[in-house]
Amino acid sequence: MSVLVFGGNGFVGCKVMERLAELQIPTSSVSRQGKKPRHLENEAWADSVQWLQGDASEPDPLLFEQCTAVVTLVGSPPVPTFSQKAYDRQVFANGQTNVAVIESAAQAGVKTLVLQSADIPAMLRRKSFGYYVGKQMAYEAAQTFVQQDTLRRVSVLRPSGIYGTRHSKSGRAISLSPVLYPVHLTLNSMPNGLKNYLPSAPVSVEQVAGVIVTESLKTDPNYTGLREWTNQQIINWSGDGITT
């Protein structure tokens, strides 16, 4: 069993890599830099990860030869775009790049795929929002992935805002928890009926990474097809499934 991660040097990706390394799962991270992020230089677990150089938009077929699962976390932030160039970059980063990874995984015979998508409010699900268009492209590619082979499985995560500690390229820690955790507590404590009319509560990076790792390591032959994880299901994840 081995896992190939695209975007493993990012905010969520680093936490995914850490969890896989702690479980002693052979893991490879593909990024343009091809090396561990600066803030992980003194982390012992990071030495067990293969930090590979590659382009997710044109993935090398050889990368997929030994892996049993592919995780794709590639994307750019959901910021407004004010030019065609910026719009196209959003579609490329969130859509075309993930599509390339998914199609390459399919061609290589990979059976398990995990895709990080997003919880996008209904009012933003429009063609003028490049982030949404890209995420939808990736989702449709994931659907095609499972439709082509009944033995394949795909897990699509749709988290809202994610809190935890990010790191800049220079290695500086940036904690999002002081702002987003109180928002999480407030929104998540609302009655279920009221939650339908409010923004989704932010979720911790630990919960998102935990679901991603669990789904990438599924071995049950009956666990096939496409499964979507809502933001609330990710929040409620207890380590071995969904709690209600």
Residue of 112, 126, 118 whose CA lies nearest to 74: 118
Instruction: Report whether pLDDT(89) > 90.
Output: yes
Strand ranges (DSSP E) for 84-140?
112-116
| Alpha carbons within 13 A on the beta-carbon side of 240 | 0
Task: Label residue 244 by pLDDT band (50, 70, 90).
Answer: very low
Q: Is 244 part of a structural domain of the chain?
A: no
Cα-Cα-Cα-Cα dihedral sign, residues 228, 117, 25, 97 = positive
The arithmetic mean of pLDDT across residues 101-123, rounded, is 97
- 29: containing domain: 3-236
pLDDT at res. 79: 92
Q: Is 204 part of a structural domain of the chain?
A: yes
Place of tokens 């991270």: 29
Place of tokens 């095609």: 144
Q: Is 102 part of a structural domain of the chain?
A: yes
Residue 24 — left, alpha, or beta (φ > 0 → left; ψ -120 to 50 → alpha)? left
Q: What is the CATH number of the domain that holds 62?
A: 3.40.50.720
> What is the total count of domains within the chain?
1
Q: What is the pLDDT of residues 184-233, one digit of tens each?
A: 999 999 998 888 888 999 999 999 999 999 999 998 888 999 999 999 99
pLDDT at res. 196: 82
Q: Is 242 part of a structural domain of the chain?
A: no
Q: Is 79 part of a structural domain of the chain?
A: yes
pLDDT at res. 47: 95
Alpha-carbon gap, residue 226 to 195, rounded angstroms: 25
Instruction: Report whether pLDDT(175) > 80.
Output: yes
Q: Is 243 part of a structural domain of the chain?
A: no
pTM exceeds 0.75, yes or no = yes
Task: Label residue 243 by pLDDT band (50, 70, 90).
Answer: very low
Instruction: Report whether pLDDT(140) > 80.
Output: yes
pLDDT at res. 240: 61
Q: Is 33 part of a structural domain of the chain?
A: yes
Q: Is 29 part of a structural domain of the chain?
A: yes
